[in-house]
Structure 1
Amino acid sequence: MRTALVNVIVMLGMLVIVPFGLRLVAPPAPVLLRRLWPLLAVPGAVALWLPRGPAATALASVYALATMALALHAPARLRRTRSLAPAEIAVLTALVTPAVAGVALVAERSGHELFGFDLEILALTVPHFHFAGFAAALVAGLVCRSADGPTGRFAALSVPVGTLLVLAGYFVDDWAELAGALVLTAGMWAVALLTWRDVRRSSAERLIRALLGVSAAVLVATMLLALSWALGEATGLPHPDLTWMAATHGLGNALGFALCSLLAWRRLKETTAWAR
């Protein structure tokens, strides 16, 4: 399902969410990759609007190579940090998941049904792994570091695990995807709880508190929509269609959760001792 709305959501992920998020990763991602990211993401954004074919595929491939370079930073980071703490697992997941989106984008723009998935599923995989993959995992890691404790560690682990289970569900069946959605929702709701209860209250700045409050509230609603869709797909019960999900779940997660969260954490990094 390639609509103008989905294209705009994907562009937000490519051009804003990923580069914003990379500035919050500590230790930071390679400087050269962070500086070049906007230039590498523009061809991918252009590819979204072209008809399927060689030109769109070539431009999408440029972006896919950037995501793969980011994914290769994950094992290098692991060798350097030698840490598999929950917050670190979440960050490693954030570094890897855009590559799934990049590969799906190339396949969809070329008209190739990768692993037998139809082009509609591939098109929706691209935004999913920018937001449920990169943004959600990164924010879960940030929340875990800021509000360390059992709930924070649960969030930092269950968001990556849920995201990977949803991906595995693509290859298995709708029930496996529902199981992944349940795990991911539990983790995202834990992120929302800690964001509202701990992180938001720790800041005296009204703008930060407002952004974090919006992100937590939106996350509860959008993940409830995701659960209803996954349950409907598995059981046959009535559920929203994909167009409606893009306009509600997709847009809400993109603007209300991911963008608001990253803006708030960027401001926190600038104004609090946590960043130092």
Structure 2
Amino acid sequence: MSVLDGLVNPVVMLGMLVIVPAGLRLIDGPELTAVRRLWPLFAVPGAFCLWLPRGGAATVLAACYALGTVVLALTAPRRLLRTRSAAPAEIAVLTALVSPSVAALALVAERAGHRLFGFGLEILALTVPHFHFAGFAAALVAGLVCRTADRPAARFAALSVPLGTLLVLLGYFLDDWAELAGALVLTAGMWAVALLTWRDVRAGAGGRDRITRTLLAVSAAVLVVTMLLALSWALGEATGLPHPNLTWMAATHGLGNALGFALCSVLAWRRLKGPVTT
């Protein structure tokens, strides 16, 4: 197992086993009831497959996880039919519901040793955490923030996080400059989330709830640093300027977003008991 695998695999497990199921409990709607209950049946095989050698067994277990993410993604059109809403917060929630399926597709290909769309196995492996955290967690938190702080900056965050995630994905297929554009949009949205979390959400957490306020403060502060690292990497890839390598990015940007942003945010919002509504 490489150093990169040793950094990425625990992060992916955190996303599968903690962030996604905890995040789903922050989203209202009857279409998610069965998914919440059944999620461990999909997530445990997915987590286990990360530690197996590439091959048939790992691929089958990854496919089990992929099935769960497809079931989750199919709740998005059902939710859209129910709510008939294109509000920014709702767009962010729909993005969160679909994002794990993109991660799972990359996971199945990587565990099978298949260069999906010509991408190297290392890039596929890094796509898995990206769409658990920049996809699911970031979009979900942007939606929560938008519902709580209903102002133009919050609506901008709820729209730019999904848009930036989509542009980064398209950049995989186009070129490094397109990926840089996606990173710029995503960073702008995440910095807006950080500002609103620090300024508005913390204020509503209550002066006596220090744990929640601390979790929110950490999540906001971490985003400033981790997204700056993401920008430096994307800029370096596009221009050839010196920039961190993938192992360094996993150890800083990846771990920071997973632990400092996603985990702290989900824990804080669970304490606030704020499900996303339309």
User: Shorter chain as normaliser: what TM range?
Assistant: over 0.9
Kept in 1: contact 2:24–2:32 (CA 8 A): no
C-alpha displacement at 1:38, in angstroms? 1.4
Of residues 229, 248, 252, the one that matches 2:252 is: 248
Identity %: 78
C-alpha displacement at 1:30, in angstroms? 2.1
Please give the secondary structure, in 2, of the residue aligned with 1:263.
helix
Amino acid at match of 1:171: F
1:99-119 alpha-carbon deviations (Å, 9 max, x no partner) = 000000000000000111111
C-alpha displacement at 1:29, in angstroms? 4.5
Of residues 260, 269, 273, the one that matches 1:269 is: 273
Structure 1, unpaired ranges of 5+: none
TM-score (norm 2): 0.96
Amino acid at match of 1:103: L
Which residue of 1 is the match for residue 236 of structure 2?
Answer: 232
Which residue of 1 is the match for residue 58 of structure 2?
Answer: 56
The number of residue pairs the alignment matches comes to 273
Of residues 173, 176, 190, the one that matches 2:178 is: 176
> Given the alignment of the two structures, is residue 46 of structure 1 paired with residue 48 of structure 2, yes or no?
yes
Rounded Cα–Cα distance in structure 1 between residues aligned with 2:267 and 2:32: 21
Rounded Cα–Cα distance in structure 1 between residues aligned with 2:14 and 2:220: 20
Which residue of 2 is the match for residue 157 of structure 1?
Answer: 159
Rounded Cα–Cα distance in structure 2 between residues aligned with 1:206 and 1:85: 32
TM-score (norm 1): 0.97
**Structure 1 residues 139-154: aligned runs within 5 Å:** 139-154=141-156
Rounded Cα–Cα distance in structure 2 between residues aligned with 1:193 and 1:27: 28
1:218-263 alpha-carbon deviations (Å, 9 max, x no partner) = 0010000000000000000000000000000000000000000000
Which residue of 2 is the match for residue 217 of structure 1?
Answer: 221
C-alpha displacement at 1:28, in angstroms? 5.2
**Structure 1 residues 54-203: aligned runs within 5 Å:** 54-203=56-205
> Given the alignment of the two structures, is residue 10 of structure 1 paired with residue 12 of structure 2, yes or no?
yes
Kept in 2: contact 1:22–1:29 (CA 8 A): no
Please give the secondary structure, in 1, of the residue aligned with 2:53.
coil
Rounded Cα–Cα distance in structure 2 between residues aligned with 1:163 and 1:30: 23
Relative contact order, CA 8 A, sep 6+: which one is greater?
A: 2
C-alpha displacement at 1:15, in angstroms? 0.3
CA RMSD, Structure 1 to Structure 2 (Å): 1.4
CA gap 1:28/1:211 in 2 versus in 1, 3 angstroms: farther
Kept in 1: contact 2:187–2:231 (CA 8 A): yes
Rounded Cα–Cα distance in structure 2 between residues aligned with 1:103 and 1:154: 29
Of residues 247, 257, 262, the one that matches 1:258 is: 262
CA gap 1:230/1:81 in 2 versus in 1, 3 angstroms: same
